[in-house]
Structure 1
């Protein structure tokens, strides 16, 4: 058996709904490998939302070729937290 280091969840239409890692495995390539698996599972563009204040996650996605395409005031999410829509196209 293996140890769970993180997980990703895709919603319909190529939306990456969740990508979470254990804090002790950050910056060790685990997120990059998990994102590569997500890309392999999706035939086409991938979209995702990140809170604007989550600078580390935004930098991660930008390093992996995602582009910010829209900024929102948070009115569409349950946390009412301003977010950014990112998109990656193969």
Structure 2
């Protein structure tokens, strides 16, 4: 991976860390927030016959985590192309 200059390298890592922070925040809110903190409020809602808080604690957070992996992959491919460090 070769950057054109030091400014591009710093900008690339700044954008990468920003993306990671956003995705980890979403993951935290869904897994810890929906599965633990807001479980009582979410349990008032039924989802496929289960209480929504229970569903997020058991399955929903895993689905969101897998979706975030694909979002990260897509965004990083675009970021790599933007800075000319893609593998293609």
Q: TM-score, normalised by structure 2?
A: 0.29
- Structure having the larger proportion of residues in strand: 1
Larger radius of gyration, structure 1 or 2? 2
Q: TM-score, normalised by structure 1?
A: 0.29
- Structure having the larger proportion of residues in helix: 2
